[in-house]
Structure 1
Amino acid sequence: MSTDIEKLESEWVCVAQTGDLEDEEALGVQVGETAVALYRVDGSFFATHGICSHEFAHLAEGYLEGCEIECPLHQARFDIRTGQAMCRPASEPIQVYPVKVVGSDVYVKV
């Protein structure tokens, strides 16, 4: 029988340390072939697909205000909790990924 940490490591990927991000900050990371944007808001961590659904732009380079990330290319905005497109030019949502914090390690499940 495997331990809880072994189960966690088999399903989740450690992408950062809690100290890598301040509140209202985003960080771009790679999980295998997938670009992921990691966010910290009010001490909580969120993760979405790292590329805007409207045009090829890295969301982690955008402007984070509260739980909305603004794409740096055409100012489309997305809710980082749900992936929902909040305004044009984006009309398609982005994928959101579960996040877990274990100690100071931040894990994402893609």
Structure 2
Amino acid sequence: MPRQKRWQDLVPVAELYRGDATPVTFQGRELAVFDTTNGITVSLARCTHGAANLCDGYFNGTHIECPLHQGLFDARSGAAVAAPARVPLRMIEARCLDGMVQILF
């Protein structure tokens, strides 16, 4: 029987890089927390094309560029929007509650 997901604390909002991507390790997984123009989103941190850490890439508030091959992803939805990236990011449902970023995990 699959484990039921529940909201879990990830990182205090005050520790995020404002308007940027913040790397966070959670249960051995590298995650990227994006402070987008539409709010906080969370994805797996590795590019789906070259496995580079996206937190090292350029972020403009909506899109994150992979630092390895310059593939581009929409940090709000995870969509791959520029080659060589073709596979979307795996997004993790997130919310902010009482000053804490939480993920449904």
- Structure 1 unmatched runs, 5+: 1-9
Shift in Å, 1:34: 2.2
Q: In the aligned structure 1, how far is the partner of 2:24 from the partner of 2:11?
A: 8
- TM-score scaled by length of structure 1: 0.82
Equivalent residue pairs, number: 101
- TM-score scaled by length of structure 2: 0.86
1:54-93 pair list within 5 angstroms: 54-93=49-88
Q: Which runs of 4+ in 1 moved over 4 A?
A: none
Q: Percent identity?
A: 28
Amino acid paired to 2:45: G
Q: In the aligned structure 2, how far is the partner of 1:106 from the partner of 1:34?
A: 16
CA distances 1:48-89 after superposition (whole Å, capped 9, x unpaired) = 111000012111111111211111111111011211111111
Structure 1 or 2, whichever has the larger Rg, is: 1
Structure with bigger RCO (C-alpha 8 Å, 6+ apart): 2
- Please, which of 91, 100, 103 is the counterpart of residue 98 of structure 2? 103
**Which structure: greater helix fraction?**
1
- Structure 2 unmatched runs, 5+: none
